[in-house]
């Protein structure tokens, strides 16, 4: 992993489709609005995009913490754009301030943490775990 400067930013956008709605993704009793886990997915992708250029070959960065507020509902057809800014780097742990907006307003914000991993080592651990189960 190369040095990741504090302040590095990334973004990711998603047009809300029926499969992203709480009423489809989670439970039919919920309203037809963007599901919170889908909003978090957009934020996590923005964070990954912020640091992608700093990862060495064979590295990735997995989500390790999320603290998010979902502030406003977004219906199908709207475009959600998330941004992530690096706020702290501590070894392999990277912290981000994240937010998401639709065309009208901010719909969520909070913090997210990712941990840089060696993909080959992770795959070896998963293989061993598969044999144990």
Which residues are part of the catalytic machinery? 36, 44, 70
* One-character DSSP codes across 47-112: HHHHHGGGPPTTEEEEEEEEEEEE-S---TT-EEEEEEEEEEEETTEEEEEEEEE-SSSEEEEEEE
DSSP state, residue 21: B
Nearest to 46 by CA among 61, 58, 25: 61
């Amino acid at each position: 992993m190369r040095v990741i400067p504090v302040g590095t930013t990334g973004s990711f956008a998603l047009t809300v489709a029926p499969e992203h709605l709480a009423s489809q993704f989670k439970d039919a009793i919920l309203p037809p609005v963007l599901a919170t886990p889908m909003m978090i997915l957009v934020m996590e992708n923005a964070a990954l995009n912020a640091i992608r250029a700093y990862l060495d070959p064979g590295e990735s960065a997995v989500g390790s913490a999320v603290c998010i507020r979902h502030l406003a509902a977004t219906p199908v057809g709207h475009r959600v754009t998330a941004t992530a800014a690096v706020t702290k780097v501590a070894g392999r742990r990277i912290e981000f301030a994240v937010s998401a907006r639709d065309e009208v307003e901010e719909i969520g914000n909070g913090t997210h943490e990712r941990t840089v991993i060696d993909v080959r080592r992770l795959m070896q651990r998963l293989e061993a775990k598969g044999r144990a189960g």
